[in-house]
Amino acid sequence: MTYDLSSTGLLSPANVIAVGVSSLDDIPAELADVFGGSLAEAAGDDKFTAKAGSTWSVRGLDRVPATWLMLVGTGEGSVEDIRLAAGAAGSFARDKGAASLRLSLPGGPAHTVAAVEAVETGNYRFDRYMAEADRKNALEAVALVGLDGTEADIAIGQALASGRNLARDLVNGPAADVYPESLADTAAGLASDRMTVEVWGEDRIETSGMGGITAVGQGSDRKPRFVHMVYEPEGEPTAEVCIVGKGVTFDAGGLSLKPSTGMLTMRCDMGGAAAVVGAMSALESLGIKARVHGIFGAAENMLSGNSYKLGDIITHHNGKTVEVHNTDAEGRLVLADCLSYASNLDGVTHIVDLATLTGAAVVALGDHYTALYANEQEFSDTLRQAATDGGEAYWPMPLEPLYNELIKGTWGEIKNIGGRWGGSITAALFLQNFVGEDKIWSHLDIAGPAFLDKPERHLTKGGTGAGVPGLLAWLRGL
């Protein structure tokens, strides 16, 4: 997508002209000249209030040099408001199959970054499996009017969006095409002068003591992978951190088989790994100054004669043993090995893991909020703020040590499920067993926001790239 920052005025040719307005009294003179007062009146009749992200549209006909003219509400004009407005314009262009957009919005550099990120996030479509004739145009050219930003701001917005949209592609891709080996290949494809990517196959995983990834992956004909990426910044790193993802490319539940309805969207169960890959892909363009490790375990949780079984006792990478009480609580077994490995990276001070880990997190918080756990208050606050800055919502949850009783094992040290209640918390406590005591750690349960069953604001249904905005906002601050 190309951007033009230099042109002025609203009424130059484009498929869609989108005009940001803070109220019905804020309609620019250029439009009033064409439509007189009737534009504000018509929008008002349709209950358009200019609330951030709200829209009202009309065909341009011969009045403006565009197929569509839209008003987008900019609310109070905050960065978040501009994000919503630009996202609405981007998704309107997506619905109309528009190739060009002229977008007028107020604001400075931060608004410009958010606007570009949101236009591209809003314009995202996943239609590569559709008939050619049914695929709509993506935006090719965007002219930004009124935003006081630079080419560099545009490049940042584009990098943020492309990282997020890569994660969405990976989540939306069917499990027949996105499986452990192909997911690892996508990560390997990101290797560059600044990025090394190491991929382990099933043998190396097993001999390295990763009993969790081995057990979960063994029921599938698609063999598991373990991936370790390292981004090396230009100059001396300002920090060294690690992001870890759950990469269950399909979760059938294993022997504790899921019902069909619960299984339908379980290609989304690699959403954590997708967020890691998406975020890693953007680091160089963003000029991130920290050394960043990206790690994921990829496995398919399937049902076969070789599936791991209830009552099995798994020995994990750090030597701890776990009793399997439910093979559908597999994500924590995969993450346990990854977290133990990450904890052995000496220079790393902070670890963040992301996982579509529990239905319980969705019950608690719905599909808008990521459940945020952390072993340090300051880090919890940092990530929560980063999420807000990036346009996501994380909600703090308690790592309540009393509940460790619920996951105490009988024959092994820990069991892989707790009781009926607090399922997202007991999953987080389980993971904590595999995090080095010297590491500052956070666990993000993205089971709700990673995959939408219906469109929400400017996000299409399906994969959302949850976690990518918050991670990148955090990393940009290091």
Helix axes 468-476, 377-390, angle to 10 degrees: 110
Helix axes 468-476, 271-286, angle to 10 degrees: 30
Is position 96 annotated as part of the catalytic site?
Answer: no
Q: How far is the CB of 211 from ligand BES (least distance, A)?
A: 18
Tokens, residue 214: 């081995």
Q: Is there binding between residue 269 and ligand BES (CB under 6 A)? A: yes
Q: Is there binding between residue 80 and Zn ion (CB under 5 A)? A: no
CA atoms lying within 13 Å on the CB side of residue 69 = 23
Q: Percentages helix, strand, coil for the chain, rounded to the nearest 5? A: 40, 20, 40
Rounded to the nearest 5°, which phi and psi values hold at 158?
-65, -40
Is position 258 annotated as part of the catalytic site?
Answer: yes
Active-site annotation holder among 332, 415, 439, 476: 332
Q: How far is the CB of 59 from ligand BES (least distance, A)?
A: 41
- Binding segment (CB under 6 A) for ligand BES, from list 29-37, 42-50, 130-138, 329-337: 329-337
Query: x/- binding map, residues 233-252, to Zn ion, per CB under 5 A?
Result: ---------------x--x-
Residue closer to ligand BES (CB basis): 87 or 253: 253
Contact 312, 406 (CB under 8 A): no
Distance (Å, whole) CA 2 – CA 441: 39
- Binding segment (CB under 6 A) for ligand BES, from list 95-103, 111-119, 356-364, 458-466: 356-364
Name which position in 120, 202, 251, 323 contacts Mn ion (CB under 5 A). 251
- Binding segment (CB under 6 A) for ligand BES, from list 29-37, 103-111, 187-195, 321-329: 321-329
Q: How far is the CB of 318 from Zn ion (least distance, A)?
A: 21
Per CB under 6 A, contacts with ligand BES among 404-423 are 417, 423
Residue type, 145: V
Mention every residue, 6+ apart, whose C-beta is less than 8 A from residue 62: none
Instruction: Please count the other Cβ atoms lying within 10 Å of the Cβ belonging to residue 123.
Output: 27
Query: x/- binding map, residues 256-275, to Zn ion, per CB under 5 A?
Result: -------------x------
Residue closer to Zn ion (CB basis): 21 or 357: 357
Instruction: Please count the other Cβ atoms lying within 10 Å of the Cβ belonging to residue 414.
Output: 20
Residue among 63, 130, 62, 66 nearest 93 (CA):
66
Distance (Å, whole) CA 200 – CA 198: 7
Per CB under 5 A, contacts with Mn ion among 314-373 are 328, 330
Active-site annotation holder among 51, 63, 136, 258: 258
Point out the residues that are catalytic: 258, 332
- For ligand BES, the binding residues (CB under 6 A) are 251, 269, 326, 328-331, 356-360, 362, 417, 423, 447
